[in-house]
Structures are given as C-alpha cells and as structure tokens.
Structure 1
Amino acid sequence: MASYDVIIIGSGPGGYVCAIRCAQLGLKTACVEGRDTLGGTCLNVGCIPSKALLHASHMLHEAEHNFAAMGLKGKSPSVDWKQMLSYKETTIEQNTKGIEFLFKKNKIDWLKGWGSVPEAGKVKVGDEAHEAKNIIIASGSEPASLPGVDVDEKVVVTSTGALELGRVPKKLVVIGAGVIGLELGSVYARLGSEVTVVEFLDVITPGMDGEVQKTFQKLLKKQGLEFIMGAAVQKTEATKTKAKVIYKLRKDDSEHVIDADTVLVATGRKPFTEGLGLDGLGIEMTKRGQIAVNKEWQTNVSGIYAIGDVIEGPMLAHKAEDEGMAVAEVIAGKHGHVNYGVIPGVIYTHPEVANVGVTEEELKETGRDYKVGKFSFMGNGRAKANFAGDGFVKILADKSTDRILGAHIVGPAAGDLIHEICVAMEFGASAQDLALTCHAHPTYSEAVREAALACGDGPIHM
C-alpha cells in the first residue's frame, strides 16, 4: 500500500494544478485519473477542443467576409471537416501530453483508474488502496440535461458529442443560451449550419450585465443565429438521423415543434461525484448536490477537501485552478486565498465577451451609488482597421471613491483585455488609476483606458 501526503482525485485544471503546487511545496503527491489522458473535461472534451474549433471556424469567417476587402483575393476555402477534427485532436494531445510531462517533472504519481474514498485517509483505485494524510476531491462536473430529453451523443448531444459529430449538420438546435451553447452554436453557424437557440429565459447568458446581453444577442443574430426566447422545452424525439424539439412558449403556453439534424443540449453542468463513496463517509452536501466546504476548502470530514466544479461557485477552470493552488498552500501550512470577487468570465465567440465583478443590475439592487464609464470599439483605431469595431468596454466604479467595482466587455480580445481590470481590482485601484496609465497605440487596450476616462471627465476619442 503506497502512502502519500496528498492524493487528488481528478486531473482537470483544479486537480493537476493542485498536484503540481503540492509537489512544489515538498508534499509527496499522487493524482487519480480514470481517463487515458490527463487534463479532465477541460483539456479533453471542453475548453481546449472547443477553442480549437472556434479558432478554425473564425478563420473561415474571416476568409469569407473580410479577406477580399483587405485585397486578399482568391477562391474561398472549403471545409474539410475530418481534417478540422484532426487539428482539434492534435491540439488536445499536445496539451494533455504537456500535463503528463509536468507530472513527471514534479515527481507526481499518476494513479490510473477511477478513485473512491472508502474511509478517511484512504483512496481506492481499482483493486489497490493507497494511504493519504490529505485527500482532495477535484472530480469536476458533467453535462446536465432536461426531463424528456434523451441524450445519445449522436443526434441529441451534449458538448462532448458536439465536438465530434460525423458531419456538419444542416440544422442545429441548441437548447440553452449559456456560454457552451453560444460558443458551439457559433462554430456550426460559421461552418454553414442553420442554428436556432431555444432558451427558457427572456435573455441570453443569464447573470451577465443586461446591456451586454442585448448587444451580444444582436451581434449573434447578425451572424445568423436565430433565437426562440421564453421557451420551455418539453421533450425531444429522435430517429437515427433526425430529431424534433417540442417546446412551449411561456407567454401563452402554446406548443411548437422545430426540426433538427442535431440537437445540442447546453443546459448547464452538475457536479460529478458518482462512485466516490461520499454517502458512506457522511460528507455534507448542499441542496444543489455540491460538496459543502469551509473557508479552507475542507469538508466536514477531517483530512478531506474539495475544489472546483464539485463545490459552490462558478464552474470555471481558472476558479478551480485558484482553489487548487490555495488548498495546496493550506495543507502545506501556509495561507491559501482566493478572491472570489475578482474571477473573470469569458465567452470565446467573435466578438468575445468578458466580465469581472458586479453588474449594473446588482448595483441597482443593492442601492449602491455608482458611475459608468463606457467606450465603443468603433472609436478604437486598431479595432476599425481589423473589422472588429463591434462592442464596447463598460467600467463600473463607486461614485464617491472611484474604486472599480466591475467591468464588462464585448469586443475583440475581450478575454485578454479583462485581465488589466482584474489586476486593478485586485489592488483596489480606481478608474482614474487606469485612466492615468499609458497604453500603447494602436491597441485594443486603449478602449479600456477610454472607458476609465469616461468615469471621469470623459473619453478622448468619442
């Protein structure tokens, strides 16, 4: 029986980052993973492969819509779907092999198989039991579905099946207007699919800033995505090659049917804790099926911790990474910290959408006095040169102190631009601090500075 200081169950971003940090801190570390490759959902069937397809399909969009205007003439490229999937698989392999290399470099043992915790201090993998002073559950999440919607991963698919379809569907129906549905819907719309998004609520991307929701939906409509809002899906009916989605409109309870070649179920994710043996251990769970933890990510059972998608908070890879590093610090006797108020969110469509901190709706609800600084990318020289003038940067700051409370970006490279504001918020900066910081010209980042200026006397280029 092998003995470790720490055993982590799950090798996704939370798990593998936690394992590396534990090893760096001098702890004898092992990581349990049942897949043939490391990296969890994110690297294998989530973040990384979807970004590969988003990038490839965006290149096609640029060739079809913008190349000629730039003087790049020639026949528009055709889509070799099998080659595009091969490119995606190569991207996955490069990343998962990279994690395997980091495990070897940091002397982390990969315990291959599915893990369970028969008792505190022990982890069982297959028929083998291993001792651990500390156990960290980082088993991630799985797609959630709806009653009456039977997923076969061929015609009715989750994000996993949508990343490996046999062909580009002529008609794709996406159930759910959240991040996953809009990203993958964008991929297939660029590749020629007729994409219809069916959403229960009256807005897309629930929880985001209202102005962002409206602008983002308009831009996606311009790109060919159709939306049916306020629609409650009742069921799907599938054959080997086709499907029907039956839904009711909430406003009048009328029933409707829409045909599809493929249905993507993108109604969120739920914690994956099956087979871990949590019931037998008496580990407390939340009402939503998450593992309950304290401020140091410890469960009610001594020596057992949990991080990432299995606990409360946004299901984001970088949130799991931060928690993984923090819990490693705690176990090593140091101070682990995660600032949950400064965790960015990004949607990798084109334009990208990014946010951090509070929304304007949340500020109104709490009655806090605030000011808004906003700048359109149409006033940004680099964006106009690159056919990327859609969208804006919006900064929310406290009215009396000018401290930045949140930011929301729709536009080019939004997922990268948001981090300047994250750093500012981490250090308690004011909008004026951003406004007085020199930004290189011409860059997209100048739009961030202009939005910060708009919190004061006003932007220069608008």
Structure 2
Amino acid sequence: MTHHDLVIIGSGSGNSLVTPDFEGRSVAIIESNPTFGGTCLNVGCIPTKMLVRAGEAALAVDDAARLGVDATLDAVRWPDIRDRVFGRIDPISAGGKAYRRDGDHTTLYEGRARFVGERALMVTTADGSQTEVSGDQIVIATGSHPTLPEPLAAAAAAGLPVHTSDTVMRLDALPASMLIVGGGYIAAEFAHVFGSLGVRVTIVNRSHTMLRAQDDDIRAVFTQYAERAWDVRPYTRVTALEPTGEQTANGPRIRATLSSGAVGDSAVAGRTEDEIAHLDVDIVLVATGREPSSADLAAAIGGVDVDEDGYVLVDAHGRTSAPGVWALGDVCTPVQLKHVANQQARVVAHNLVHPDDLRSFAVANIPSAVFTHPEIASVGLTEAQAHETGLDLAIKVQQYGDTAYGWALEDTTGLVKLIADRATGRLLGAHIIGPTASSLIQTLIHAMEFDQHVHDVARGQYWIHPALAEVVENALLGLDVTAGTRLDPR
C-alpha cells in the first residue's frame, strides 16, 4: 500500500485542492475517466457554451431581417464547429493530466477507486491491474454522470445512436433530426444549439412543462418560444427504440415509439388514455438528469454514509461520516453547478489544513443560468416560493422592450422579474429571460448577498445609458417597497 498525505478522488474541482499548503507533501489524484479535468471542462459548461455561441451566430442570421438586414445562412460546417471546441479543450485536459502525472509532489492514478478500509482505497485500471493507496485525508470529488433509463439504455447497448451530454458534442456529422428526451436545462440548451444549426428537434417530456424549476412567468415566455422553435410534446414518454434499417452518418436511423397521455391527471392533458405514435430520427439525446457518481465507491466499507439518492452525506464544512474523509461538488449536493463545486473546493482546501478554523459551504443566494434561447438566469425564490413565506411581497416585471437598448434589439420577449419584501426593501428573488441574462443578473446577486435595499442599489450608482443594464435599474425602481437610505440619488 502506498500512503499519501492527501488523496483526491476526481480531477474536476477536486484538482484545485492541491494548494501551496501542500507544497512538499505527498498528494495523490485518482481519475477514472480518460479525460482529465472533470465534467465542466470536458463535457459540460465550457464546451456547451462554445456550441451555444455557434448556435447564436446561426440564429442571428435568421433574426437579422427584423433589423432591416436581409441575410442567408449559407452553410453550417459541423466538423469545424466541433473541432473549434475540442481543439481548445482537449489540449487543456491533456496538459492538466501531464502536469499532475509529472508533478514533483503529485501522483496520478488512472483508474476507478473504491474503499477497502478506513481511508484506504483500491484503484483498478482499465486493464484490470490494481494498486492500493491510503491517505491521512481523502476527498471524494467524483462528480455526477448522466442517467440513462430503460428502454434507452438497452437501445444504446444495442448500438443505436443514443447519446447523453457526454457524447453528443463529438458527433461525426450534424444529424438531420434529433429526439431529445427530457425537459430540463440540458434539453433546453441542446435543443437551442442543434435547432439553430438546422436540425429538426423533437422534445418529449413526461411532465406538462419544461424547466419546471423556473418562475412561472419565465417558464411561460420560454414555453412560447420553445413551441415555435421545436416540436415539443409534453406528457410523452419513449417506450421503445428500434432501428429502421436505414443508415446515417451517425449510425442506424432510429424509430421511436412514443406514448403520450396525462401522467396522473388526464384532464390537464385532455386525454383519457394513452396515444401511441412513431417518430423516425437520426439520433436520440437523453437528457433525463444526472446522478451522483458514488455507486462504485463502496463508501460503506470506508465508513462513508450515502443517502438513498446516492449523495454522499456531509456536514456544513464538507466532512463525511468517516473521520478524515471529505466530499465536495455534485457527489454531495443536488445543486449541480460548477460555481458551487468551486466554492466548496475552496472551503475544503482551507479546512484540510486549518482544522481549528473551519469554514462552511455557502448555501444561500446560489444563482443559475440556462444558456438556451432566450437565455435565462435566476437567483433566490420564485414568486410561488416567496408567497409561502407569508411576507408582504412587492413584485415588478420589467420588459426589455421598454428600455432604449431593448428598442435597439427589437426585443419582444425579454423581461426582468424581481420579488422583494415590501417591509424591508430586500430582494427575495430575481429572474431574467432574454439576451445576456446570465450577466445582467450579477448586480442582483450582489444586492442579495450583501443585503442591500433595492432602491439603494438603483440610486446608489450610475447606470450607463443606454446600456441593457437599465432594464435592471428600472425593475429595481419599480418595486413598491419602503424607502431606502441613499441621500444622493444618481
């Protein structure tokens, strides 16, 4: 058995735990995936956003006529789009692996780790060879992976082109048609990307709506766009996938059997029994969610408690039930966001070397964004959640189109929705749909995190005119709350 001061399982946000505090000490990193660097770098946030940019460029051509510019989209060079993404990402991943493999005080184990005792692990490589390692401290940072329920998993195993977000970005060719299974942010983002590039997109969703976690007003705007842009089928599930006998550049063409009807409430769907339909598509993208990558850890052998959904249980500081074993990121939190994993990594990095000065995970005011079209960003409570607090609410919906830059955009759908406590003037929630929503919301995150009065935020600083940020300023000013404290309004 090889012993280390610190053993990190996972090379995503866990990779950042190798701080100067561990200079001269022995650190091991265990990674089971061929690519190094975790989900965000290789199959998540970064490559998807690079693809979204290509989709936005294509969509802008179709949209130009509203501005008096007639343009046509001549071609979409999918190999060039794909290679622009991975031509940048793959060298970063390879460089990170080489740096850790050849580092002076880091040892890289390429294989799958499982506990074999107290702070002891067996690492099994792809060829079956095994190495036993132990550590004074171990950090579980294995992240999450896409779910592939039946019958979709069986179809993928049979060689049909059934993809997840892990594989769909490396397609050999742009498909003519795509079936997306699921209604969350992954489905919304990939529908935008591939739909904008000319793919016929059909989305099937077991529930009545997409993006269920969003505020009702935001979801309503997005639903209207989605139903215009793609073939969206609510209350629908896939019951079978079979080859049609035809061949495409991405593999056998697929015939999907779809069963549509209300799930639990036929009156809502307007149906009393299932309706069966068939749909032929080039590929299927499964976007039914992600689950924590903990099943192969044999966590119980290491004394690490895991809940019924597979999440490693941690306290506020990242400690698991096993002394000296920590966890961070998607494997221990349902809020599967890179900025959350990064914050938790900073906390754990500190706590590893400062046991008498423990820091805590930040659990309030966690923002998120969906890089679909229109872009969506949110932080805090939805209106429905805010009503449950019993507070007297002030709510303001501000349209992009009511600002000068909104006129420049000819925007007809974008909006900012703010929810505040009328008595204190503090924001409870902020929701934006429209261009650059993920950037516009940052001022509102700041206001919530630093407990600022909404009118102080609006009048305590200059807002560039006629920048799009004025839509946020106007929304803040439109909240009917108690007066703020600024004495020198700008």
1:184 and 2:190 aligned: yes
Is the contact between residue 396 and residue 405 of structure 1 (CA under 8 Å) also seen in structure 2? yes
Give 1:233's aligned amino acid: V
Give 2:230's aligned amino acid: L
Give 1:144's aligned amino acid: T
> How many Å apart are 1:379 and its aligned residue?
1.9
Correspondence for 2:325: 304
The 1:98–1:385 alpha-carbon spacing in structure 2 relative to 1, beyond 3 Å, is farther
Q: Distance in 2 between the 1:95 and 1:422 partners?
A: 31
- Structure 2 unaligned spans of 5+: 125-129, 245-251, 267-271, 483-490
Q: Distance in 2 between the 1:68 and 1:416 partners?
A: 25
Alignment equivalent of 2:169, drawn from 159, 163, 180 = 163
The 1:306–1:51 alpha-carbon spacing in structure 2 relative to 1, beyond 3 Å, is same
The 1:28–1:164 alpha-carbon spacing in structure 2 relative to 1, beyond 3 Å, is same
> How many Å apart are 1:367 and its aligned residue?
2.4
> How many Å apart are 1:169 and its aligned residue?
2.3
Give 1:16's aligned amino acid: N
Partner SS state of residue 238, structure 2: strand
Partner SS state of residue 429, structure 2: strand
Correspondence for 2:149: 146
Is the contact between residue 375 and residue 436 of structure 2 (CA under 8 Å) also seen in structure 1? yes
What are the equivalent positions in structure 2 for 1:266-345 lying under 5 Å apart? 266-333=287-354, 334-345=357-368
Alignment equivalent of 2:456, drawn from 407, 420, 433 = 433
The 1:21–1:213 alpha-carbon spacing in structure 2 relative to 1, beyond 3 Å, is farther
Alignment equivalent of 2:261, drawn from 249, 252, 262 = 249
Give 2:254's aligned amino acid: K
Q: Distance in 1 between the 2:40 and 2:256 partners?
A: 30
Give 2:28's aligned amino acid: A
Q: Distance in 2 between the 1:248 and 1:423 partners?
A: 44
Alignment equivalent of 2:472, drawn from 440, 445, 448 = 448
> How many Å apart are 1:97 and its aligned residue?
5.1
Residues 179-188 or 267-276, more deviating: 267-276
Correspondence for 1:264: 285
Correspondence for 1:128: 131
Residues 324-333 or 208-217, more deviating: 324-333
> How many Å apart are 1:136 and its aligned residue?
0.8
Give CA-to-partner distance per residue, 1:91-119, whole Å, 9 cap, x none.
32254356458868996543333223322
Is the contact between residue 386 and residue 428 of structure 2 (CA under 8 Å) also seen in structure 1? no
Is the contact between residue 36 and residue 93 of structure 2 (CA under 8 Å) also seen in structure 1? yes
Alignment equivalent of 2:381, drawn from 358, 373, 377 = 358
Give 1:247's aligned amino acid: S
Give 1:449's aligned amino acid: E
Partner SS state of residue 388, structure 2: helix
Q: Distance in 2 between the 1:31 and 1:403 partners?
A: 44
Q: Distance in 1 between the 2:481 and 2:53 partners?
A: 39
Correspondence for 1:39: 37
> How many Å apart are 1:261 and its aligned residue?
2.1
Q: Distance in 2 between the 1:93 and 1:416 partners?
A: 27
Correspondence for 2:59: 61
Correspondence for 2:9: 9
Question: Which structure has the larger Rg?
Answer: 2
Correspondence for 1:86: 83
The 1:74–1:214 alpha-carbon spacing in structure 2 relative to 1, beyond 3 Å, is closer
> How many Å apart are 1:198 and its aligned residue?
1.1
Give 2:83's aligned amino acid: S
Correspondence for 2:234: 229
Give CA-to-partner distance per residue, 1:271-330, whole Å, 9 cap, x none.
112332213224222121211112222111111111111113311111111111111222
Q: Distance in 1 between the 2:105 and 2:78 partners?
A: 39
Partner SS state of residue 242, structure 1: strand
Correspondence for 2:50: 52
Give 1:54's aligned amino acid: V
The 1:227–1:6 alpha-carbon spacing in structure 2 relative to 1, beyond 3 Å, is same
Residues 426-435 or 108-117, more deviating: 108-117
Q: Distance in 1 between the 2:104 and 2:339 partners?
A: 21
The number of residue pairs the alignment matches comes to 454
Correspondence for 2:127: none
> How many Å apart are 1:228 and its aligned residue?
1.2
> How many Å apart are 1:425 and its aligned residue?
1.2
> How many Å apart are 1:380 and its aligned residue?
2.7
> How many Å apart are 1:18 and its aligned residue?
3.3
Give CA-to-partner distance per residue, 1:63-87, whole Å, 9 cap, x none.
333179465x766331111111111
Report percent identity of matched pairs: 28
Q: Distance in 2 between the 1:402 and 1:456 partners?
A: 8
Correspondence for 1:417: 440
1:379 and 2:377 aligned: no
Partner SS state of residue 6, structure 1: strand
Partner SS state of residue 188, structure 1: helix
The 1:68–1:294 alpha-carbon spacing in structure 2 relative to 1, beyond 3 Å, is closer
Residues 399-408 or 267-276, more deviating: 267-276
> How many Å apart are 1:33 and its aligned residue?
1.5
Correspondence for 2:485: none
Alignment equivalent of 1:206, drawn from 201, 205, 212 = 212
Is the contact between residue 5 and residue 26 of structure 2 (CA under 8 Å) also seen in structure 1? yes
Give 1:243's aligned amino acid: R
Q: Distance in 2 between the 1:202 and 1:21 partners?
A: 50
Is the contact between residue 116 and residue 277 of structure 1 (CA under 8 Å) also seen in structure 2? yes
Correspondence for 2:247: none
Is the contact between residue 243 and residue 263 of structure 1 (CA under 8 Å) also seen in structure 2? no
The 1:457–1:341 alpha-carbon spacing in structure 2 relative to 1, beyond 3 Å, is closer
Q: Distance in 1 between the 2:138 and 2:436 partners?
A: 38
Q: Distance in 2 between the 1:272 and 1:228 partners?
A: 30
Correspondence for 2:487: none
Give 1:442's aligned amino acid: P
The 1:169–1:308 alpha-carbon spacing in structure 2 relative to 1, beyond 3 Å, is same
> How many Å apart are 1:387 and its aligned residue?
4.7
Give CA-to-partner distance per residue, 1:324-372, whole Å, 9 cap, x none.
1111222221332332121111101132101111111111233232111
Partner SS state of residue 438, structure 2: helix
Is the contact between residue 308 and residue 315 of structure 1 (CA under 8 Å) also seen in structure 2? yes
Give 2:137's aligned amino acid: N
